[in-house]
Amino acid sequence: MRVLFAADGWEKWAPAISAACPEAELLQTAPPDSVDAIIYAPNGPGCDFAAYPSAKLVQGLWAGVDQIVPDSSLTQPLARMVEPGLERGMVEYCTGWALRLHLGMDRFAQDGVWRNDMAPPLATRRKVTVLGAGALGQAVARALAALDFDVATWSRSGEGAPGIPAFSGPEMEQALSRAEILIALLPDTPETRNILNAERLALLPRGASIINPGRGTLIDDAALLSALNSRYLRHAVLDVFRTEPLPPFDPYWSHPGVTVTPHIASETRVETAALVVAENLRRVMRGETPLHLVDRSKGY
């Protein structure tokens, strides 16, 4: 099996994938009619998928596929990356920040003032809503539920993690109106862009906080800043933005109600992701359906 590697990071990916799937011949260039599969990420040299008609799979190395799906040259099946390291990283980021916001850890200024009237409620009394119930959203919801938070998810389909309340598309208002902490883990699609606009932000309880490690396009930035300026919302932890790196003079950097993190919530771990790539390559060799195929009509 000949596999074209069209992504950045050949030096780290090639040894890991070759070790996980030695029966695959990994190449950086190859005659178009000899390629059986393509490993791809948008940060690489680019790829004209139409030039490789014999490829039976395009295996993405990122969880997000919004930069791949619109490519009109892509006709092959596309698989997104779902792997344990990426999932674990997202769980740790979201639970860490949810706990910090829940406990109000940033309220305790080290200024000699004894503020013992600021004890938070227990997690059982804190309502958290996770927007998005894919692999990452479900994993985050399960982790928060294990810490005894009152968790629910929202997705277009209403599918969610077993044992955790799940709202469906028409129930957005109910999902938001309960969310003292809102975690946004939706994909970037035409339907989700600016899904958190002024109207929907106003549905959140007064004093709610937002964590967005999903996509920068999910939030109407002007509406969020307005809600923070009026102190209707308490805080926003933002890891993703429409423009990255976030420009130095963007108002988010200096806003007291915003914490900016530089797109570090989670990343693909080569050592675990290589095993996922190997499994899908073997499935292609056996004529089986690859894992984590993207429905391009939905955009994820």
Per-residue tokens: 27: 């190449």
CB 214 within 8 A of CB 240: yes
Question: Cα-atom radius of gyration of the chain, to the nearest Å?
Answer: 21
138: left (phi over 0), alpha (psi -120 to 50) or beta: alpha
User: Burial, 175: exposed, middle or buried (Cβ in 10 Å; 0-12, 13-18, 19+)?
Assistant: buried
Check if the beta carbon of residue 62 is closer than 8 Å to that of residue 31.
Answer: no
**Contact at 8 Å (CB) between 29 and 285?**
no
Q: Which residues are known to be catalytic?
A: 215, 263
- Within 101-241, strands assigned E span 127-131, 150-154, 166-167, 181-184, 209-212, 235-238
